[in-house]
């Protein structure tokens, strides 16, 4: 009888220990990954600008065609976000909803006396699928000069000396639930954050003089290929500097 009581006491004691903090417990469920979609609409055209004549400027617009510059930006941004523990989801968009006309013009850097920014809340709901992700990273066309209105998006410009290829964009991190902008940054040129005092306020790179067409409305296929390769390289390198400046949730 005594042995039975001892064994029963031991069993009850062991059962009670399982309720103490150091006993077995249900394992914690890891939080669900943060979903995000990447939208890139940097430009659908190329501006070739001859600014070598001072105040007298000439410009010609070429279609971007099938260069897939936005796909380069999307791939680069997606790879970076995955390293930051986001679950990147593919999205389909209506590109026109993110163009300069829909946004009221190319996004400028802003300053101490004003920083007007487009609202993406309604645009994402109506022009992005799926529209219910946690976050969205949006890359859109930006301005690169207050004195040259044609300088925005993607283009080639000649001041003096070597021509310069530019790819000007602004990055927005959007809360997918509220549509509010969490953070935004203006892409800088030459990996420096002081582009206000340069001819081009944004990513740009020098090209050989041979890349500049003698007549800007006669841009050869070889010149266009050299320009495209320079744009892809500059955009790829610059995204590595620009995206880490965003404050992630």
97-148 pLDDT, tens digit per residue, is 999 999 999 999 876 545 678 999 999 999 999 999 999 999 999 999 888 8
- Of 14-23, 174-183, 223-232, the one with minimum mean pLDDT is 14-23
Domain contains 94: yes
Phi, psi of 222 (to 5 degrees): -65, -40
The tens digit of pLDDT for each residue in 197-213 reads: 578 999 999 999 999 99
The pLDDT score that the predictor gives to residue 25 is 63
Domain contains 145: yes
Domain contains 7: no
18 torsion bin: left (phi>0), alpha (psi -120 to 50), beta (else): alpha
Domain contains 51: no
Closest CA to 129 of 91, 94, 97, 88: 91
The tens digit of pLDDT for each residue in 223-241 reads: 999 999 999 999 999 999 9
Domain contains 118: yes
Domain contains 198: yes
The tens digit of pLDDT for each residue in 118-128 reads: 999 999 999 99
Domain contains 225: no
The pLDDT score that the predictor gives to residue 240 is 96
Q: Domain containing 98: what range? A: 34-45+66-155+167-204+236-245
State how far the Cα of 239 lies from the Cα of 76, in Å rounded to an integer.
7
CATH number, residue 112:
3.40.50
Q: Is pLDDT at 5 greater than 50 in this prediction?
A: no
∠ Cα 64 101 61 (to 5°)? 35
What's the domain count of the chain? 1
């Amino acid at each position: 009888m005594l042995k039975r009581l001892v064994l029963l006491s031991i069993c009850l004691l062991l059962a009670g220990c399982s309720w103490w903090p150091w006993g077995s417990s249900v394992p914690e469920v890891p939080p669900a990954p943060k979903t995000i979609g990447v939208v890139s609409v940097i430009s659908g055209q190329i501006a070739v600008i001859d600014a070598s004549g001072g105040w007298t400027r000439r410009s010609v617009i070429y279609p971007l065609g099938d260069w897939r510059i936005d796909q380069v930006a999307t791939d680069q941004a997606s790879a970076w976000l995955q390293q930051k523990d986001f679950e990147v989801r593919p999205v389909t968009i209506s590109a026109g909803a993110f163009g300069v006309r829909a946004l009221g013009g190319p996004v400028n850097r802003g300053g101490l006396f004003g920083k007007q920014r487009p609202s993406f809340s309604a645009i994402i709901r109506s022009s992005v699928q799926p529209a219910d992700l946690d976050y969205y990273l949006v890359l859109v066309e930006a301005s690169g000069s207050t004195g040259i209105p044609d300088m925005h998006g993607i283009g080639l410009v000649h001041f003096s000396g070597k021509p310069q290829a530019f790819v000007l964009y602004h990055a927005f991190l959007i809360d997918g639930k509220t549509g509010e902008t969490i953070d935004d940054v203006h892409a800088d040129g030459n990996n420096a954050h002081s582009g206000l005092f340069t001819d081009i306020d944004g990513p740009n790179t020098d090209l050989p003089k041979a890349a500049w067409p003698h007549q800007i409305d006669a841009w050869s296929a070889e010149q266009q290929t050299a320009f495209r390769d320079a744009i892809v390289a500059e955009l790829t390198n610059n995204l590595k500097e620009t995206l880490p400046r965003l404050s992630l949730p």
